[in-house]
Structure 1
């Protein structure tokens, strides 16, 4: 032990002794003070709002904040009714959904939704050909890639060529369904490719030989005293479970692929975890939530969001920063409320409803994204089906192929940005890049949120996450509405479409 190390130990010991001695003096002083006739009532304490106080029970302040927000929301609701009157009209919902305000009665959105079965069947047929080696691997992959690319291109071409026949809701539904099919078919093709590679590999052949030798060994197990009966029983149970599972290529049939297309997941497996029964009460609650939540979203759109968006058009077009900012903050409240309801409606109510009907047991559709301390954590927790797909079919394959983690992460954001733009620009027939740039902006925003978390603590990182959610979406809505009016109606109609 060096002299410097010994000196450091003596210094630390001396400091520890001094601290201990100081505590003893304080305790002795407090004991003596209690014995004084002035009845002392003071002792060293921090204020409750100080971090050093250790106080954490702020339930009353949470209740106060909830009441304050409720009062503010009620005031905004009354202001909306006084200014715009009652705007909820269920008849308009039917007109928008059916597209009766546009087109010639051909309902192309319904035709495209029905046509979505075709690429699914084509994908299955190609996989069957690959499994029995009628189709070569190279030709089969070319066919799969062409099928998936055509799948994505069909809505882009059809909605622009037959634009008058599509309602906004119909075009959005088509783009959403085709986007989901793209991700599901990608997963289906890649998983079956893994299975074909495993079947053709030496390891797979070795596993088969081990199973054959196991059967031979089991026949002569009675003369081999070195293997216990418990080990044999365990091996037999594993073999029994192995035979119960579906193996490639027994999974290549219509029932399997259409179950996957309907299941609330984007990642294909040959053997999904299944629940034993349907919980009727649970199912009825989810059905009620879907019906009621859907109506609430439609009412909020008609009564609150549409007037707010229209009122933002003129200030945003004139680049009146003060008024545009006021309209942005005014739109942020109903937009965020609708987004939260939509999240619960889709990721909890609807996905659980579908999962219950299909006996799909993996209900991990979201994690506690509301506690995310940075943007990376938010994107990893709020949409688990997409996150699992991105990690399983993009991130890990790219990293295994030799690309860096940063490059793989940027590719994941790029694909996500493409589909965000796809779901907005095509239905609106307004080809801008606001949604794409908004998603790509998550990369520097992620760096900022991690810096805030590291510099100021998790709470400030969480504030950055919530701020981006509250302000980013309404800003994107205002930009797209302005461009939509300019593109389809011209600048001379700004005043008309900016009035409620």
Structure 2
């Protein structure tokens, strides 16, 4: 591109009316310059200069230089910014003397606007970090692959046939009988409600009979587990099933009591009340409720129209795969770590901290797999087979900023039950919100202790204390969230208390107590 040795100059009074005048002029035949101008105090980029650069870019002869498009775009943005600021300030200062034909030369301007760095504090959250997320995923895969290889080289394959089937399970046949006879208690609750609907028994008698049935539902498996000295896994499964039936019976009794007492006060057009009046106490509704993936009773539920058989098979395959992944992590990582550890409340504090931190990652993986298998796979499979429509079994608890948000989102069936049958009744009876929250956590702590302590044959209340410890954590995390005003900080605090410290500590406590009990009994 040739440059004239005698470039033209554009005085302020000879300024083109618009940028198109300059675009029509070949850069090879003319250059523009002007007398020195006073810089615009309201803008760090001169709009007149950028207009001349744009004109030179558009008027350049030849095939066009590589990189001109990007420079045009930057010049255009700077020009727009400068024009806006110049219009607002009413500045009429003339343009500077700028050679038009130098945009493709080594002296071409490349710095034409004020721009912050992508990682600066003002723009870091406006950038896309998808590439960094991909990098973290690649690093995570690489690090975990190395750990798997290192573990296999150190311990070998520890999973044996006993993981899938053990002769000890045959000694737990009383627990199987107990689980098969538990539906007797819902049948008793149905008979009580049938008598109450026909007004054969008074309301105090109805309440007393339901209380007896609910207590018997949870105490019956406790008695069987303690008498049979069952394995931890068998006892855990039975206690989870019994706790589910117990909560369902509470909801069944409470909901039917509310329907009976409200039959004269609720609007006559209420669908549930009309269904209750027309059908009464339906045995079919009770059977569906006991089998459905919900803890809250109502006479009818939203239903789907068909069963997706292919989808069900796919979910079952995923369930088998992730169950195997959990078994691999438990046998290859968690079991060796806790066997080589000391009781966390005894011995060296640094050793206990090291074991807790080492145990936190595999424990977190197992917990995530357990959550996925239970709340996403199993409950959705059950809902699909039963045409159950409401499948909000969890929310995005992984984004929780406080412990309170986590407990509201991670287990929706229990949360809805607690809200409907514990928290809101407390509020309606004048109990303060703080006290109602403590009552809710207390009930949750009791069931956690029953489901963990009873199968382990340990009665040191570690699970109860761990759940009740959530109450001050709720207050603390809410305070920190309000103080920092940052969702990321609150989410990081939640993950620390939940996965890095809480779960590994509970596992170590129960494991060593179970091992000590075995030593004493043997």
Report TM bin, short chain.
0.7 to 0.9
Q: Distance in 1 between matches of 2:387 and 2:413?
A: 17
Q: Tell me which residue corresponds to 2:438.
A: 410
Segment drifting more, 43-52 vs 74-83: 43-52
Is 1:365 the equivalent of 2:435?
Answer: no
**1:47-82 deviation per Cα after TM superposition (whole angstroms, max 9, x unaligned):** 222231253211111111111111211122122112
CA gap of 1:244–1:139, structure 2 versus 1, over 3 A, is: closer
Matched residue, 1:229: none
Mean CA deviation greater in 481-490 or 400-409: 481-490
Unaligned 5+ segments in structure 2 are 1-39, 53-97, 100-106
Mapped pair 1:473 → 2:503: yes
Provide the residue aligned with 2:207 in structure 1.
141
Cα gap change, 1:317 to 1:410, in 2 (>3 Å): closer
Aligned-pair CA distance for 1:185:
0.5
- CA distance in 2 between partners of 1:433 and 1:317 (Å): 15
- Pairing 1:161-310 to 2, within 5 Å after superposition: 161-163=227-229, 166-199=230-263, 201=264, 203=265, 246-248=275-277, 250=279, 252-310=281-339
Q: CA RMSD in A?
A: 2.4
Alignment of 1:341 onto 2:369: yes
CA distance in 2, matches of 1:139, 1:243: 25
For the residues of structure 2 that align with 1:315 and 1:149, how far apart are their CA atoms? 35
- Structure 2 length normalisation: TM-score? 0.77
2:115 maps to 1:45: yes
Unaligned runs of at least 5 residues, structure 1: 1-23, 209-238, 494-500
| Residues in 2 aligned to 1:79 and 1:484: alpha-carbon distance in whole angstroms | 29
Cα 1:74–1:149 shift into 2, 3 Å: same
Q: What is the aligned residue count? A: 427
Shift in Å, 1:328: 1.2
TM-score using structure 1 length: 0.80
More helix, by proportion: 1
2:452–2:463 contact (8 Å) kept in structure 1: yes
Deviations 1:444-491 (A, max 9, x none): 111221222222211110001111221210110001111122233149
Rounded to whole Å, the distance in 2 between the matches of 1:309 and 1:243 is: 52
Q: Secondary structure at the match of 2:165?
A: helix
SS of 1:48's partner is coil
Q: Assess, with a 3 A threshold, how the Cα gap between structure 1 residues 62 and 479 changes in structure 2: closer, same or farther.
A: same
Deviation at 1:32, TM superposition (A): 5.1
Indicate the structure whose relative CO is greater, using CA pairs within 8 Å and at least 6 residues apart: 1
Alpha carbons 1:155, 1:175 under 8 Å: kept: yes
Equivalent residue number for residue 77 of structure 2: none
CA distance in 1, matches of 2:280, 2:380: 25
Cα-to-partner distance string for 1:428-455 (whole Å, 9 max, x where unaligned): 0011111111111111111221222222
1:117 is displaced (CA, Å) by 1.2
Task: Report the equivalent of 1:446.
Answer: 474
Displacement of 1:403 after TM fit? Answer: 0.6
Q: Is the 8 A contact 2:326 2:370 kept in 1?
A: yes
Partner of 1:395: 423
Structure 1 contact 315–323 (Cα < 8 Å) conserved: no
Q: Distance in 2 between matches of 1:62 and 1:372?
A: 19
Distance 2:172 2:492 in 1: 48
Quote how far apart the aligned CAs of 1:340 are. 0.5
Q: Give the Cα–Cα distance (whole angstroms) in 1 for the partners of residues 206 and 135 of structure 2.
A: 63
**1:336-382 deviation per Cα after TM superposition (whole angstroms, max 9, x unaligned):** 00111111111111111000000000001111111111111111111
